[in-house]
Amino acid sequence: MSTRVYIGLGSNLADPDGQLRSALSALDQLAQTAVAAVSAFYASDSLLPGQPRYTNAVAALDTELQPLALLDALQALENDHGRVRAERWGPRTLDLDILLFGDHLIDSPRLQVPHPQMHLRAFVLYPLAELLPTEHCLPDGQLLAERLAACPFVGLERL
């Protein structure tokens, strides 16, 4: 049985748009996984000053993988795209975050779902809202519409 999963993609190094396109085709080739839909790409300044601008997007996947197996696959993909984990929050060629995994609530040392910062980040919420109805109720009980209302579309450029 497959689960609908939402992945946040981000890059701010080495041709960010190209990194995202290449990541999307790699995601579609993952075992037991298919890409069902992809948002537009969005550009925005980094939340941390002094970094290059990011390109972000959200993809909907249907996967038969369990959450930690998917996380392993995403981290392998990040490494394939030349990501070097030099500093926490550092610039990165590719960042893949599990935002939602069906309606699961996961709180393990390696993986928290829903992604703990997603409700604060316009570059996650607005692309997600292209793929989910805003009346969608998130696993923590909040409506996507409420999250959007609390997180204005500021500084985002839809590409």
Catalytic positions, written as ranges: 83, 92, 95, 97
Beta-carbon neighbour count of residue 40 at 10 Å? 12
DSSP class of residue 118 equals G
Torsion angle, alpha carbons of 29, 35, 40, 44, to 10: -60
Q: Pick one of 19, 56, 63, 93: the residue that binds ligand ROI (CB under 6 A).
A: 56
6 counts as binding ligand ROI under rule CB under 6 A: no
How far apart are the C-alpha atoms of 126 and 43, rounded to whole Å? 12
Q: Is 39 helix (H, G, I), strand (E, B) or coil?
A: coil
**Span near ligand ROI by CB under 6 A; candidates 30-38, 44-52, 74-82, 137-145:** 44-52
Q: Pick one of 6, 41, 54, 126: the residue that binds ligand ROI (CB under 6 A).
A: 54
10 counts as binding ligand ROI under rule CB under 6 A: yes
How far apart are the C-alpha atoms of 68 and 86, rounded to whole Å? 23
Cα–Cα distance list, 159 to 39, 69, 127 (Å): 11, 32, 11
84 counts as binding ligand ROI under rule CB under 6 A: no
Q: Is 17 helix (H, G, I), strand (E, B) or coil?
A: helix
41 counts as binding ligand ROI under rule CB under 6 A: no
- Least separation, in Å, of the C-beta of 105 and ligand ROI? 23
89 counts as binding ligand ROI under rule CB under 6 A: yes
Omega before residue 114 within 30° of 0, cis:
yes
75 counts as binding ligand ROI under rule CB under 6 A: no
- Least separation, in Å, of the C-beta of 19 and ligand ROI? 12
Q: Where along the sequence are the contacts to ligand ROI (CB under 6 A)?
A: 10, 44, 46-48, 54, 56, 89, 95, 123
